[in-house]
Structure 1
């Protein structure tokens, strides 16, 4: 009150304006103090696959005592070099309504609703349980799509191109991917898209269980949806995947798998997967 009283008169509007001005000035001076850190952070930061925390981890050996929470406060203030628009995910949009898939009646014993999935799989206590999805490229006939196949415990992902949404071709492509990489597959969790309508046959080939999610419940395959979002940072919706070479896809796959992850104490999915798989 004393600080914002003028000639014995206090006006809350004037006081608020002066408070905002002082806060702005102090914050700006504080940022100028860490210009060197800002330059280093910008050089390491790449919003496609290296987020704020990952970049902060890479610079942890710097002499300043800045916390990652301070960095987020700088970004939210919109006065730093990195603004809110540069965050990896600024907001979430509700997905479009999806058509209900028709599952294969090959055998009911191999295709089970996700609510029947055991807790030890839900809690990622066992290696060898996977999530799978199809990323659509151009929505015209004849353009290629991407299969994402991700292990739940280690978050290791494999990406494969496929020319159509044909269920039998998808089964064949996934089977080849699994055999080529000698993957341990105990279960696969999918959505109820029509591209998985013959998934019972793949389950029979692999002698594994397939769990299917409820409609409009992408959070039930959270890891797979997250990695799909990372892939979309490289290639936006409507991308013609037929223009990408196998080396392009492999390069992106390696970048994602070798990202340091906080959940693994800043080890990568690649490191954790190879340690368990070997």
Structure 2
């Protein structure tokens, strides 16, 4: 945001941080020095041949040419002490990010939340791209009813849902690992999501995900 408004290169700002010319350090940045490590997910060993492969995903989705193509994931809370999770969704084109708090990540609970999303979202939903976690094994039941297609990533390849992974890390800035999501109110989660969606992004020419989504929804309604 600073680089955009004053037309400074991002590299210059980082140099100033290193030189102590700005009143906070690189260590204050949310992701500085954090090496992203992902535990091997043991939930889906039997699930590797499930559904439609991401290799079958059309170029229109791959190139982010339209709104309505979503990447999905679940974010776990306090392992061993809480079953509550967040189901996260991000639109590939606009990077509009949303989440639902779930009591657990069973197939039935995930499908219930997605049914709510599909019946309340004021825009098109063409596809879901998901990993091979067992919580997503029942999405085929939503396809015929809502006219969507589900694409399953290769096993242990989170980069195939890169936008979702990136925004999940943004969410972790507000809710660090170990957070018990059953203690998070719906209002608190909504406020957090609004903050995330109102951040200008370089990849969106410094528009916010909210602005891009709203613009595209307006075009669709014309």
TM-score (norm 1): 0.71
Larger deviation: 257-266 or 88-97?
88-97
Aligned-pair distance for 1:181? Answer: 2.1
Partner of 1:95: 38
| 1:153-172 superposed matches below 5 A | 153-172=93-112
Partner of 2:168: 228
Determine which structure has more spread, i.e. the larger CA radius of gyration: 1
Aligned-pair distance for 1:240? Answer: 0.7
Number of positions where the alignment pairs a residue of Structure 1 with one of Structure 2: 216
Matched, 1:76 2:18: yes
Matched, 1:85 2:59: no
Partners of 1:182 and 1:81 lie apart in 2 by 42
Are the aligned partners of 2:130 and 2:152 in contact in 1 as well (CA < 8 Å)?
yes
Partner of 2:183: 243
Runs (4+) off by over 6 Å: none
TM-score (norm 2): 0.88
Aligned-pair distance for 1:77? Answer: 4.2
Partner of 1:185: 125
Larger deviation: 68-77 or 123-132?
68-77
Secondary structure of the residue that 1:124 maps to in structure 2?
coil
2:156 is matched with which residue: 216, 238, 252? 216
Aligned-pair distance for 1:159? Answer: 1.1
Partner of 2:59: 119
Give unpaired runs (5+ residues) of structure 2. Answer: none
